[in-house]
Amino acid sequence: MGEIAIATLAEEMYEMIAEYAGKKNLKALDLTKAMIARHGAGACDKDDCKQAIRELIDSGRCVYSYLGGSYIQLPPKPDAAL
């Protein structure tokens, strides 16, 4: 386990997903690479990032979308279907 808390990684990933919402679809690997690049391989690793992504999905803050590949996005707004 790295030096960065899983909750911190999850929050940073969420901010990144929100920033790119509607502009670019991010894959789990994109998020993992970004966090390792930001904090360094010694501070966080793939397993830490995987746990952070699972936390985002399980909490409902993010969802998986399948658009020719598996992407992580913000959940659709409830009134978007209207």
Give the pLDDT of residue 75.
94
The model's pTM is 0.90
Burial class (CB in 10 A: 0-12, 13-18, 19+), 73: middle
DSSP assignment of 8-41 equals HHHHHHHHHHHHHTTT--B-HHHHHHHHHHHH-T
Per domain, the residue ranges of the chain are 6-81
Q: Rounded to an integer, what distance in angstroms lies between the CA atom of residue 36 and that of residue 9?
A: 10
Tell me phi and psi for residue 34, to 5 degrees: -65, -40
Distance CA 68, CA 53 (A): 20
CATH topology of domain 6-81: Arc Repressor Mutant, subunit A (1.10.10)
Q: What is the pLDDT of residue 1?
A: 58
Bridge-partner residues for 72, per DSSP?
Answer: 26, 64
pLDDT along the chain (82 residues), means of 10: 88 97 95 96 94 97 93 84 52
